[in-house]
Every structure is written in structure tokens, then in C-alpha cells.
């Protein structure tokens, strides 16, 4: 087997069970591994550290499959990883409270670069690393057998593939084509999901628990759902008898789906409004009009995708949080999020507290929020915690 030898003192993170080996940590490679080929990883002293998948074009040159050098990375190994991952979601399968959840969450499930989300009878996948790509057919076959789905659809149209030297691809991988839209439910909430064109694999499943939290504050409330996408939080609020829900998003098509998702859940359409616009501008306009809300959700897209952009992103987060805090009635609830992996929970906390200081309001943190448990974070892989939020009461 081809072997990757690490530089002296660069084996520390692998010993700490971190699954990424950067190109700069590698002393030499015996042989020329192909894209996605399994390699043995050894320390400078010749200690076996495990097996990983080789990515010749990526800065992340190896992603570890296992820290046990005795394992054979073969079809049985990959199948058993998928089985363990799907098995860990047995609760969701059995509970029936929702029919949409994540089956495989990449590194945290021992399958770096593999995302698989279940939407009703379909599974939608992303393969974002060379190792994942190499084992694609085995993974798809395992998913089909283990989840009992009607079809597996691929949404590998993500730019990280380019860094792996892989083309962006979408399309049916197995079974039947998914319908134009798939209906999912979360408790008593129903949503239509477009798995071919929607964000990520179609829907923000990672916000499920946080949508449920918003429901507990929604009764009779005026709710602002900023960066609404297809309605997620706002529709949860509608089903929990919000007085009014105002969705704001730049995307016409997302708002169209938010509208039909609202209609799917209530006949009182007049209580929901859908504003196409830039949240930064709309919130300023609301401030000038002295509008106020009982509950505000701020769930923006990733503002920072590189370290260089982090400070600019922090200013963006501070701006919207400042405006959001100002728009809340006394005792109002702010659920504010960042899905930028580079924005650490501490930095996010600092940004929101700076916004509170500038707004001149006292703010309590009621709960620290994160991605739902079907999106686990590997304990030795902090990069896996990308979604963080604060549930606040603004006094």
C-alpha cells in the first residue's frame, strides 16, 4: 500500500484523531497514489497512524478513514460506516415526528466528504472529497439498501469539489427520479422542498431544533424572519399561532416557495408578508418607520468563507444584530445565527454583545444554539461545528 510519511512534529493532530492532513505536514510519499486512493499514514519514526484517502489536488491532502492501521478500507468497511451512520438515526426513522433528516454528516460519521440527507422517500447526497468520490457507488448502494428509499439523487454542485479536482455534478444516482418538490414534515409543520435546485441538499435541516424553539415564543407574536429562504422559521411560527410573520429575503424564488409553504400550513395568509429586499436595508427602513417585533430571527448566509474576509463579515453580523436588537419590543426574543465555520462561538458572542452595547439595550442569553443532533460534530474535529446561534431576550 502506498505510504504517506508525515514530517517530524506534524503528526500531533492525527494522533489527536483530527482527520485532515494538510500538504505542508507531509515529508514524503511512497508511490503516486491516485485521486481518492487509500494510503497508509506513518509518522517520521515509522509509527502507523491509520489509513486515509489521498486528494492529490487539495491542500487537505489526506482525509483519514480510520486511526486504526489494522483496518482494510474496502467495500465492507465503507458499507459498515454507512450502516453505523444510518443506524444512529434510527430514532428519527422510528419516531415519525419528521421525515427529513441527515443520514451521514461527513467527518463526524467517519465518512469525510459524504453528506446524505433524507427527504421523505428520497436521499440526496453530496460527495465533496476525492475519497468520497471514489467510493460513491458503494455508498449509494448502501444508502439505498439501508434507508429503504425510492431513489438517491446527487447534488455535488458545490465549489469545494473544484479544490479536489472534481467537476460539479447533479443527477439521479439510483432508483426513481424525485418529484419536482418533495413534501416533508417537522411535527405539525409541512414544507415543500426542491431538492434539485434548493440550497445545500434542498432545505436547512440543521435548524430543525431551533425552529422548534421559535415555536415556543411565537404565540400571538409579531415575528420577523430575516433571511427567510423558503420560510423555515416563519412557517414554524405560523403553526404556533403567531399574530404576524414578516419574511425578508433577496431571492424571489425562495419567497415564492415560502408563500406556498405558508399556504400549505394555514388558511390565514393575510397574517404573513413576504418582502423581497436586502435585509440590511429593510431593517433600516423598519427602524425609520418605528416598527417593532416580539421575535426576530436573523439567519444570514455564510458572510465569511476565508480568514481574510472574517473582519468584514464580523461587521456585517454586528450591523444586522444592532438593527435587530433595536427593532425588538422590550422583552423581545432574538434568535441570531452564524453558519460561517470561521466565526468561532466566542467571536460570534463578542459581535452580538458589541451590537447590544451600541444599541444601548440589556440582553440576556437564554440558550446557546447549534446544529441539530443529526448533524453531529466530531469531538476532535471542531471544524464540524459550523452553525452557532444565541437565543436572547432583549430587555
Residue ranges that bind ligand SAH, judged by CB under 6 A = 199, 204, 207, 227-230, 232-233, 248-251, 254, 278-280, 299-301
In angstroms, give the least distance from the CB of 226 to ligand SAH.
Answer: 7
Contact between 54 and 21 (Cβ < 8 Å): no
The β-bridge partners of 222 are: 244
Segment holding 388, helix H or strand E: strand 388-394
In angstroms, give the least distance from the CB of 253 to ligand SAH.
Answer: 9
In angstroms, give the least distance from the CB of 51 to ligand SAH.
Answer: 36
Among 152, 197, 155, 195, smallest CA distance to 175 is for: 152
Does residue 31 come out as left (phi exceeding 0), alpha (psi in the -120 to 50 range) or beta? left
In angstroms, give the least distance from the CB of 171 to ligand SAH.
Answer: 24
Q: 21 vs 221, which CB is nearer to ligand SAH?
A: 221
The cell for 328 is 425588538
In angstroms, give the least distance from the CB of 238 to ligand SAH.
Answer: 14
**Dist. CA 319–CA 336, nearest whole Å:** 12
Q: 138 vs 160, which CB is nearer to ligand SAH?
A: 160
In angstroms, give the least distance from the CB of 153 to ligand SAH.
Answer: 19
Q: 64 vs 254, which CB is nearer to ligand SAH?
A: 254
Q: What CA–CA distances, in Å, run from 366 to 109, 249, 336, 344?
A: 30, 27, 12, 19
The cell for 155 is 447534488
The β-bridge partners of 368 are: 390
In angstroms, give the least distance from the CB of 229 to ligand SAH.
Answer: 4
Q: 125 vs 224, which CB is nearer to ligand SAH?
A: 224
The per-residue DSSP string of 193-232 comes to E-TTTSSTTSS-GGGHHHHHHHHHHHTT-EEEEES-TTSH
Q: Which residue is nearest to ligand SAH (CB)?
A: 232
Q: 48 vs 157, which CB is nearer to ligand SAH?
A: 157
Q: Could you list the beta-strand ranges (E) of 94-228.
A: 100-105, 114-119, 122-127, 151-156, 169-175, 182-186, 189-193, 222-226
Q: 129 vs 210, which CB is nearer to ligand SAH?
A: 210
Which residues have a Cβ under 8 Å from the Cβ of 262 and sit 6 or more positions away?
A: 231, 234, 235, 238, 245, 269, 272
Q: 12 vs 280, which CB is nearer to ligand SAH?
A: 280
Q: What CA–CA distances, in Å, run from 288 to 79, 166, 228, 328, 354?
A: 58, 48, 22, 14, 22
In angstroms, give the least distance from the CB of 369 to ligand SAH.
Answer: 12
Q: 222 vs 299, which CB is nearer to ligand SAH?
A: 299
Amino acid at each position: 500500500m502506498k505510504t504517506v510519511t508525515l514530517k517530524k512534529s506534524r503528526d500531533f493532530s492525527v494522533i489527536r484523531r483530527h482527520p485532515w492532513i494538510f500538504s505542508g505536514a507531509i515529508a514524503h510519499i511512497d508511490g503516486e497514489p491516485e485521486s481518492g486512493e487509500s494510503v497508509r499514514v506513518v509518522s517520521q519514526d515509522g509509527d502507523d497512524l491509520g489509513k486515509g484517502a489521498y486528494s492529490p489536488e487539495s491542500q487537505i491532502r489526506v482525509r483519514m478513514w480510520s486511526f486504526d492501521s489494522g483496518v482494510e478500507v474496502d467495500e465492507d468497511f465503507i458499507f459498515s460506516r454507512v450502516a453505523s451512520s444510518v443506524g444512529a438515526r434510527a430514532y428519527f426513522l422510528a419516531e415519525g415526528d419528521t421525515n427529513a433528516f441527515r443520514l451521514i454528516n461527513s467527518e463526524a460519521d467517519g465518512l469525510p466528504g459524504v453528506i446524505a440527507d433524507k427527504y421523505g422517500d428520497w436521499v440526496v447526497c453530496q460527495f465533496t472529497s476525492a475519497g468520497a468520490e471514489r467510493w460513491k457507488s458503494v455508498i449509494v448502494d448502501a444508502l439505498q439498501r439501508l434507508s429503504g428509499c425510492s431513489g438517491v439523487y446527487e447534488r455535488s454542485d458545490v465549489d469545494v469539489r473544484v479544490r479536489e479536482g472534481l467537476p460539479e455534478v447533479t443527477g439521479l444516482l439510483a432508483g426513481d427520479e424525485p418529484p419536482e418538490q418533495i413534501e416533508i414534515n417537522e411535527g405539525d409543520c409541512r414544507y415543500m422542498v426542491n431538492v434539485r435546485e434548493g440550497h445545500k441538499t434542498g432545505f436547512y435541516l440543521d435548524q430543525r431544533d431551533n425552529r422548534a424553539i421559535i415555536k415556543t415564543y411565537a404565540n400571538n407574536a409579531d415575528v420577523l424572519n430575516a433571511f427567510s429562504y423558503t420560510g423555515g422559521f416563519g412557517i414554524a411560527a405560523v403553526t404556533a399561532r403567531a399574530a404576524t410573520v414578516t419574511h425578508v429575503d433577496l431571492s424571489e424564488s425562495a419567497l415564492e416557495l415560502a408563500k406556498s409553504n405558508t399556504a400549505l400550513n394555514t388558511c390565514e395568509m393575510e397574517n404573513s408578508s413576504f418582502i423581497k429586499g436586502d435585509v440590511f436595508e429593510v431593517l433600516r427602513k423598519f427602524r425609520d418607520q418605528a416598527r417593532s417585533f416580539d421575535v426576530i430571527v436573523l439567519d444570514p448566509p455564510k458572510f465569511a468563507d476565508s480568514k481574510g474576509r472574517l473582519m468584514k463579515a464580523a461587521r456585517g453580523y454586528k450591523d444586522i444584530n444592532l438593527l435587530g436588537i433595536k427593532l425588538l419590543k422590550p422583552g423581545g426574543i432574538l434568535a441570531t445565527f452564524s453558519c460561517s465555520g470561521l466565526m468561532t462561538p466566542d467571536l460570534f458572542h463578542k459581535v452580538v454583545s458589541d451590537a447590544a452595547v451600541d444599541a444601548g439595550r440589556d440582553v440576556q442569553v437564554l440558550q446557546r444554539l447549534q446544529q441539530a443532533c443529526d448533524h453531529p460534530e466530531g469531538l476532535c474535529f471542531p471544524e464540524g461545528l459550523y452553525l452557532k446561534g444565541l437565543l436572547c431576550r432583549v430587555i
